[in-house]
Structures are given as C-alpha cells and as structure tokens.
Amino acid sequence: MRSFRLADACRLLVAAAAVAALGGCLARDRAEAAQVFGPLRAESLKAWTDVTISGEPAIEYAISKSALILEDADSASAELVVKPDGDTRAVLMVDRRGQRTTNISFGSAVPIASDGYYLTAAHVVELDNSLLLARHPGGPYLETKLRRVWSGTHLSPELDVAIVHAPGLELAAVPWAPLEELTLGAKTIAAGLGGKWPRTVGGTISSVLSYEPTQGGRPPVTRVEIRGPYIPGDSGGPTFLADGRLVGIAVSITFAGRADPDDAVTCRLLRLDPEWVDALIARDRASRPTTAAPRAKPSDAHALFETLDERTLDVDGWLTPTPDTPRPPS
C-alpha cells in the first residue's frame, strides 16, 4: 500500500499503483471511483443516521463545521451548463485575474477560534490569493479572502497542516477532543467538500502516534489514522468524535485496492497541540493592525450548495448519488 495526499489521490481510488492530480483523472477512472466510493461512504454513515451532536443530527453538525477553500481565486460562482447530450449540470467556477475557469484546486477547513482562524492542510493553501467559503447556521454561504498565518511544511514536508485567518467570516470554534479520548476503535464522523459538495463520512480510529516538539521549531503534533472512505476535496476537513469534538484534519490517504474492501482506505489526520495553537493565534492577533476587518460577502456559489437539486450537480463522477447519500442541511 502507498500513501498520498488527498489532492493527489484520484486514480488511487481505482488502482493502487496509478497516481494523478485531482483534476487529471480519466472519465472512466472517475466513473469507477464513483461506483466504489458512493456505496462505501453511504455504508459508513449508517451508524450515524440517528445520532445527534449538540442537539442536531450528527451529519448536519459535521457539515456545518466544514468550510471550503478555493486556491488562487478572486471569487466563486455556480453556473448551469447544458452538456452535448442535453443533460444539465451545475458547475463550480472561479474568477481568476479576470478569467472564469472550472480549473480549481480546493479543500476544506475547520474553525478553531471564533475570530476567523481555521485549521486546514498546508497543501490546500500553497498558493496565495485563496478564498474561504463558509456559512453561519441557517444563513447563506459567504466568501472572503484568507491569509496564511502559519504552515508546517516550512519546517517539514510531512507536517502538512496550516493555520489561516479569514477576516469577516467568524464562526464558532470547534473544541478539541482530549488526546486521551482518541482510543483505537472509537467511531468518528468527518466532513469535507469532496466532490465539490458538502459530504460526510464515517470511520474508526486505527492508530494514534504523538510526536514531541523538536529543536528545529516543530510543534507537538499527533498523527491519527482513520479507516474510512475519504476522497479528494476532503483535504483539510475536520474529523470529529461522537460528541462533536475535533480529532484533527485530513491530509492523506492510503488505498489498499479493491482486493481489500473492508480496509480499502485509511486516512491520515494531523492535529497540533491545542495550547501551542492558542499561543500562536494570540501572537498573530497581537501583531495584526487594529483596523476593522473586511466583511465577508454573500457568495455567488451559494446556489451550488443550496438551491440546486443534487441530480443536477456536476461532481466530476466522484459521488454519483445513491439512495443512502444524505442531502446537506437546508
């Protein structure tokens, strides 16, 4: 088995030895991946159907705590496109230096401080000029420019985690799960924008390994392995315990292939030491100008997530809807 970042895992979903970037899969690969992973994700969520977290269905809770990051984008929108066969699809698009395009690198994030700080995977925010989309409960999706505060890849290529600040998009922070509660076999639920549509996935903790800080400046970090069918686009997305507290964010997957369907995908999460994170954010707050933060604006991509029927959504073949696939909250 081999491990890869979620953003590079497209062909791995159908062949363990073949690798391509997210946008570079062949149509037949995407179709086969959808056949494999649609049912796997639906099956993984059956245990969560009747579970509530903080008074709301667990699936809706997980989705509500996940934000979308679009790399190198000035603004986002959704557009209905009629394909040659007459079928209509909704397509996520971005404006980039005056040009509209569907060529998008994207991932997910989770709020870790209530004044606009988010945790994500470092490879999701490698480029400048990135956009963060999120929503307050019951409200529309908003978008704002984000600022990279800290990236672990400056210290080590394997420290694929970053902290960003999205002024004007302040969501309630997700509390961290205590390290001692990350036990083998514990059930988890994760959220992300895999397939360009808010999705959830169930899993179980299979490994926990903590690393002490180093003299080179690397902070205390814990690597958590989760068995569950994560897909590209889930990079940077949060994984929660059954009480809604944060385990970590998704950074890479290992694909075992069709020959081992019960253990097909293991996702690697990273989590930073919460006290170290709080101290870093405090230093960043102190260094920021005291001018008022810009306000987030309603996103023209809101329709992609809210007002379009799932059957009209272009998900690049990753997630062909199945009867057990839950809809995002309205």
* Statement: residue 3 has pLDDT above 80: no
The stretch 23-38 carries a mean pLDDT of 47
Amino acid at 104: I
Cβ-Cβ contacts under 8 Å for 259 (sequence gap 6 or more): none
In this predicted structure, what is the pLDDT of residue 295?
Answer: 79
* Statement: residue 79 has pLDDT above 80: no
6 pLDDT tier (thresholds 50, 70, 90):
low
* Statement: residue 39 has pLDDT above 80: no
Q: How far apart are CA 183 and CA 206, in angstroms?
A: 8
* Statement: residue 301 has pLDDT above 50: yes
The stretch 266-295 carries a mean pLDDT of 89
Task: Between 177 and 314, name the one with better pLDDT.
Answer: 177
In this predicted structure, what is the pLDDT of residue 84?
Answer: 75
* Statement: residue 120 has pLDDT above 50: yes
Task: Between 40 and 178, name the one with better pLDDT.
Answer: 178
In this predicted structure, what is the pLDDT of residue 139?
Answer: 82
The highest-confidence range among 44-48, 108-112, 312-316, by mean pLDDT, is 108-112
Q: How far apart are CA 224 and CA 194, in angstroms?
A: 20
104, 74 in Cβ contact below 8 A?
no
- Residue closest to 327 by CA, chosen among 63, 19, 94: 63
* Statement: residue 157 has pLDDT above 90: no
The stretch 10-26 carries a mean pLDDT of 31
In this predicted structure, what is the pLDDT of residue 15?
Answer: 30
Task: Between 193 and 253, name the one with better pLDDT.
Answer: 253
pLDDT single digits (tens) 221-258: 999 999 988 877 788 999 999 999 999 999 987 766 55
The highest-confidence range among 11-15, 104-108, 195-199, 305-309, by mean pLDDT, is 104-108
Domains and CATH numbers, the chain: 2-312 (2.40.10.120)
The stretch 13-39 carries a mean pLDDT of 42
DSSP state of 7: G
Q: How far apart are CA 264 and CA 228, in angstroms?
A: 8
